[in-house]
Copies of this chain bind each other. A is one copy, B any other.
Amino acid sequence: MHSFTEENYLKAIYHLSDANNTVVSTNSIAEVTNTKAASVTDMLKKLADKKLINYIKYQGVTLSNTGIQAAVNIVRKHRLWEVFLVEKLGFKWDEVHDIAEELEHINSASLIDRLDDFLGNPAADPHGDPIPDRTGTFVHKKLVKVSDLKEGQTGTISGVNEHSSLFLKHLEKLGLTLGTKITISDIIEFDGSIMLIADKTKERTISREVAKNILVIL
Task: Please give the residue numbers on chain A whose beta carbons come within 8 Å of chain B beta carbons, in ascending order.
Answer: 85, 88-91, 95, 98-99, 102-103, 106-108, 110-111, 114-115, 118
Contact = CB atoms under 8 A, between A and B. Distances in A.
Nearest to A114: B89
Contacts of A88: 118
Contacts of A118: 88-89
Contacts of A98: 108
19 contacts: A85-B111, A88-B118, A89-B111, A89-B114, A89-B115, A89-B118, A90-B114, A91-B110, A91-B114, A95-B110, A98-B108, A99-B106, A99-B108, A99-B111, A102-B106, A102-B107, A102-B108, A103-B106, A106-B106
A88 to B, nearest CB: 6
Contacts of A85: 111
Given A91-B114, A99-B111, A102-B108, 16 more contacts: A85-B111, A88-B118, A89-B111, A89-B114, A89-B115, A89-B118, A90-B114, A91-B110, A95-B110, A98-B108, A99-B106, A99-B108, A102-B106, A102-B107, A103-B106, A106-B106
What's the dominant secondary structure at chain A's contact region? helix
A103 B99 CA distance: 12
Contacts of A90: 114
A8 B55 CA distance: 36
Nearest to A103: B106
A72 to B, nearest CB: 21
A190 B59 CA distance: 75
